[in-house]
Amino acid sequence: MTLSIRNLTVAIGERRLLANISLAVAAGELVAVIGPNGAGKTSLIHAAVGDLPAQQGQVAFAGRALADWPGRERACGMALLPQFSTLGFPFTVREVVLLGRGPHRSGAKVDGRIADAACDATDIEHLRTRRYTHLSGGEKQRVQLARVLAQIWRAEDAPDRLLLLDEPVAALDIGHQQVVMGQVRRFADQGVAVVMVQHDISLAARYADRLLALREGQAVAEGEPSAVVTQQTMHRLFDTDTRVIPHPDTGTPVVLHG
């Protein structure tokens, strides 16, 4: 397994963020983490990359505990897009995307081609010479996604690749949501393990292979979208009545609420 989380418990002081969570994600698999605000979704993503220490349990990347990985070597195969990315320097968009190639030693020409390809993939090629600080929120989000994609773009850079995304489409319009989710899905299809926090349940169900539902730091359900996205589970997660219907084109579950 590219990512293995076993019996993970995370706490800050007396506050427990995650309790006994287990998750295994294989190469080529996209897992979406869903749940209400404060459920522990972001905590799980940051524990998976080692930013939050485990009170108990273990996180392993490519069969090795996170602590056993040298920082640069781990960064060659593991990339994180946080929920909020702050950058106040007036770098150009292309320069920001090139930051993702920092852990590698592939040379300026190769890195430049990868950065340009990542820009194309996230529909920001027309912004490459613009100052990052002059962009809209949605444009900045796509630049940051291009940066983390560039970080693990090539299979030859690392034998195992893991992409961790915390609400990657939160600031995007409908068109760019489809662009980004399609590119994330293609990354998974190319052998990258992907774990993504997603608030839009219908969007998560359309693109993910599996869903992990959290509430109050505990796992409520895990499995294929059709098994997790049910009216009963939605009520348990969000304390509200919903209706779940199949998408007319894909058959994946769609959540309706009034």
User: Residue 3's beta-bridge partner residues?
Assistant: 25, 61
Alpha helix positions (H), the chain: 41-49, 71-77, 93-98, 108-121, 137-151, 174-189, 201-207, 225-228, 231-238
Confirm whether 121 is domain-assigned: no
Mean pLDDT of 173-182: 95
Confirm whether 122 is domain-assigned: no
Confirm whether 251 is domain-assigned: yes
Confirm whether 94 is domain-assigned: no
Q: What is the pLDDT of residue 89?
A: 87
Match 């998560």 to its residue by tokens.
204
User: For residue 160, what pLDDT band results from cuts at 50, 70 and 90?
Assistant: very high
Percent of the chain with pLDDT over 70: 100
Confirm whether 11 is domain-assigned: yes
Mean pLDDT of 29-42: 97
Q: Indicate the range of 38-42, 86-90, 122-126, 189-193 predicted with least confidence.
A: 86-90
Q: Is the pLDDT of residue 78 over 90?
A: yes
Q: What is the pLDDT of residue 84?
A: 83
Q: Is the pLDDT of residue 258 over 70?
A: no
> What is the per-residue burial (b if ≥16 Cβ within 10 Å, else e) of 65-101?
ebeebeeeebbbbbbbbbeebeeeeebebbebbbebb
Render pLDDT for 245-254 as a digit per residue (tens, 0 to 9): 999 999 999 9
Confirm whether 150 is domain-assigned: no
Q: What is the pLDDT of residue 39?
A: 97
Q: Is the pLDDT of residue 190 over 90?
A: yes
Closest CA to 116 of 129, 132, 134, 135: 129
pTM as predicted: 0.96
Q: What is the pLDDT of residue 171?
A: 86
Q: How many domains does the chain have?
A: 1
| Domain range for 13 | 3-85+160-256
Q: Report phi then psi at 136, rounded to 5.
A: -75, 170
Confirm whether 181 is domain-assigned: yes
Q: Going edge to edge, which strands form the sheet with 64-65?
A: 15-25, 3-12, 56-61, 64-65
User: Residue 5's beta-bridge partner residues?
Assistant: 23, 59
Q: Is the pLDDT of residue 149 over 80?
A: yes
Render pLDDT for 43-67 as a digit per residue (tens, 0 to 9): 999 999 999 999 999 999 999 999 8
Render pLDDT for 111-120 as a digit per residue (tens, 0 to 9): 999 999 999 9
Confirm whether 96 is domain-assigned: no
Tokens of 216: 């109050």
Residue type at 48?
A
Tell me the pLDDT of the chain averaged across its residues: 96
Q: What is the pLDDT of residue 180?
A: 95
DSSP state of 129: T
Render pLDDT for 100-111 as a digit per residue (tens, 0 to 9): 999 999 999 999
Q: CA distances (Å), 88 to each of 71, 81, 95, 133, 178, in order?
A: 25, 17, 13, 6, 28
The CATH number of residue 36's host domain is 3.40.50.300
Non-local CB neighbours of 129 within 8 Å, separated by 6+ positions = 92, 93, 94
Q: What is the pLDDT of residue 14?
A: 87
Q: Is the pLDDT of residue 135 over 80?
A: yes
Report the alpha-carbon distance of residue 143 to residue 150 in Å, rounded: 10
Render pLDDT for 196-247 as a digit per residue (tens, 0 to 9): 999 999 999 999 999 999 999 999 999 999 999 999 999 999 999 999 999 9
Residue type at 141?
Q
Q: What is the pLDDT of residue 202?
A: 97
Containing 254, the helix (H) or strand (E) segment is strand 253-256
How many residues make up the chain in this entry?
Answer: 258
At 22 the three-state DSSP class reads strand
Non-local CB neighbours of 14 within 8 Å, separated by 6+ positions = none
